[in-house]
A and B are shown apart, each in its own frame.
Chain A
């Protein structure tokens, strides 16, 4: 079952479609099933937030899309990544390199380690322009200053000649964003872009990403484990658990009425100001080992609504309401509020 058949969206072909993606990590301890049939798609100008705990497969999906998954230990065992309908997983190495940067670009969590410490920030932006676009040094420098200006780095003309260690955390993330925008990608994947930053800077970076995305009518995949970050910017949200997408929905309905007990549990575990003094809800238990995923619904050992059928049958992704997708046997009950 593919996403297209379930989630109704604009009629035009999707910018990016991930279809039934399976990835395994073959380790010494056994085969870890990291992705178990992940499907989602992103349209131009749309923000998809991919939400999940550590180890749920959010970043592996992104790395598979980019083609920077470490193989070994990773093995892609099935599925397609279609960019404008072209299956990237079957494309040549040369074609994949062309798409990277100019079609799909990616920014990382820790901008300091994602920038090469021995070159100036400007050089790293210019290098792409010179190599991929054949720009002259002077033009590339001009463009780099423009890009740094666009991501609101003050005094960009001087900053362009500085090294990454001379930038503050927020500035580095801005520089990283400028670098990923250099080749005007149609889709930007942001892998936990604000996790390493403090809260005020987080908001600034999110605003910046939102603005750039609207400006360029760019697709944005926002990978995060922070529900607070997602609420403001995401058009749609995909919740991942144990290498599966357990729920996919537009942001508003998901917050109003979650369609999966896991989403519900995540929302309940947010600290709330109006319930001051009350005990903070947590999700009991640990995420399952990906080497030994429990039979039936992978969430059943931790699920408060577990029933017999959950222990034996894997819940199929289905459509409990218009525009929503859930992999819970009882999604309808949840959404209708029992």
Chain B
């Protein structure tokens, strides 16, 4: 606690009346600080958070409005320019079909982000609900749910995804939305057990706290105890898991696309671009380099963000 910024935050936690330094602080003496506002205060001072948040914002911007970054049509291909290296016209060069790699990389962010965020939402909803119920009820409910989770946990991710995607793709059409949805669902179906275990463990810990007993002693109903007392108190580990998992799911989408069972043309995604470049790796390495670098940076940014959030929410690391 010698670092001035952490000392200030520590003081603010113990007593907000304690004003550091001679500066005149406008806030009222009794201004409350929730766990969330404390964490936010802490986060804003972490370089790791600032860097990862900036990167993520940039990627989100690319996903939402790609035309801000490039005016080139990512699907326009001119075979004359096939595999040309980086130049002033095309900063990242051209791919095998002669399409602009810079434009494709920018447009590819959308598919990656959509898959990453949706898969995380589904995973957390499914795993979180089951984990909360299993942890709160315990007994046979917990036993059954945990065994089911164990079975899914035992499936190797890539193998499971190949089985699901290859068997459902034959029946389902191959429109871009349907394929994206299928990829999202197969990622969620194979990933929820990890999230369930985290929520279950957190719910078991929270359930034994005195405040849950106190709430019951004051006449709170079961649903109120779950929603008001368990849920807010297990949010922190789930949030950390979700942030890190998001990065992982973007990587998973790329893996599946690379294997040829995930997204494919006309959808542009980083995984698709990496898959397209594999045959020309030695003669045109730039076709792999740029999408791979964007993918790595994005995944890294989410993992770093997760780490920073975990540290900010964990009072022991202060």
User: Which residues does A use to contact B, with CB under 8 Å?
Assistant: 66, 68, 97-102, 105-106, 108, 110, 113-120, 127-128, 131-132, 155, 157-159, 161-163, 165-166, 176, 179-180, 182-183
Contact = CB atoms under 8 A, between A and B. Distances in A.
B28 A158 contact: yes
Contact of B32 (A97, A105, A120, A155): A120
A180 B219 CA distance: 11
B155 interface: no
Contacts, number: 86
26 contacts: A66-B216, A68-B213, A68-B216, A97-B219, A100-B217, A101-B218, A102-B219, A105-B217, A108-B214, A110-B210, A113-B209, A114-B213, A115-B214, A116-B215, A117-B35, A118-B233, A119-B228, A119-B232, A120-B34, A128-B218, A131-B220, A163-B33, A163-B34, A163-B35, A166-B16, A166-B32
A218 to B, nearest CB: 16
Contacts of B16: 166
Interface of B: 13-16, 28-30, 32-35, 209-211, 213-221, 224, 228-229, 232-233
**Residue among B15, B215, B217, B233 having the largest count of chain A Cβ atoms under 10 Å:** B217
B239 to A, nearest CB: 13
Contact of A158 (B30, B211, B216, B220): B30
Contacts of A183: 218-219
A211 to B, nearest CB: 22
Given A113-B211, A118-B233, A166 B217 contact: no
Given A105-B217, A119-B232, A128-B218, A155 B30 contact: yes
A101 B34 contact: no
**Residue among B13, B32, B221, B224 having the largest count of chain A Cβ atoms under 10 Å:** B32
B89 to A, nearest CB: 55
A25 to B, nearest CB: 16
Contacts of B34: 118, 120, 163
A117 B233 contact: yes
Contacts of B229: 116
B232 A118 contact: yes
A119 B233 CA distance: 10
A131 B219 CA distance: 10
Given A97-B221, A98-B219, A163-B35, A114 B214 contact: yes
**A contact face: mostly helix, strand, loop, or mixed:** helix
B216 A105 contact: no
Contacts of B210: 108, 110, 113-114
Given A100-B217, A158-B28, A118 B224 contact: no
Contact of A116 (B13, B32, B233): B233
B219 A162 contact: no
Given A98-B219, A105-B217, A113-B211, A127 B32 contact: no
Nearest to B36: A118
B213 A100 contact: no
Given A106-B214, A158-B28, A163-B35, A101 B219 contact: yes
A267 B28 CA distance: 50
A68 B214 CA distance: 9
A99 to B, nearest CB: 8
Contacts of A128: 218-219
A116 B13 CA distance: 17
B32 A162 contact: yes
B269 to A, nearest CB: 38
A66 B216 CA distance: 9
A161 B216 contact: no
A180 B30 contact: no
Given A117-B233, A163-B35, A108 B13 contact: no
Contacts of B217: 66, 68, 100-101, 105-106
B232 to A, nearest CB: 4
B35 to A, nearest CB: 6
A114 B217 CA distance: 11
B188 to A, nearest CB: 27
A64 to B, nearest CB: 12
Nearest to B217: A106
A232 to B, nearest CB: 26
B219 A132 contact: yes
Contacts of A179: 214, 218
**Residue among A118, A157, A161 having the largest count of chain B Cβ atoms under 10 Å:** A118
A116 B228 contact: yes
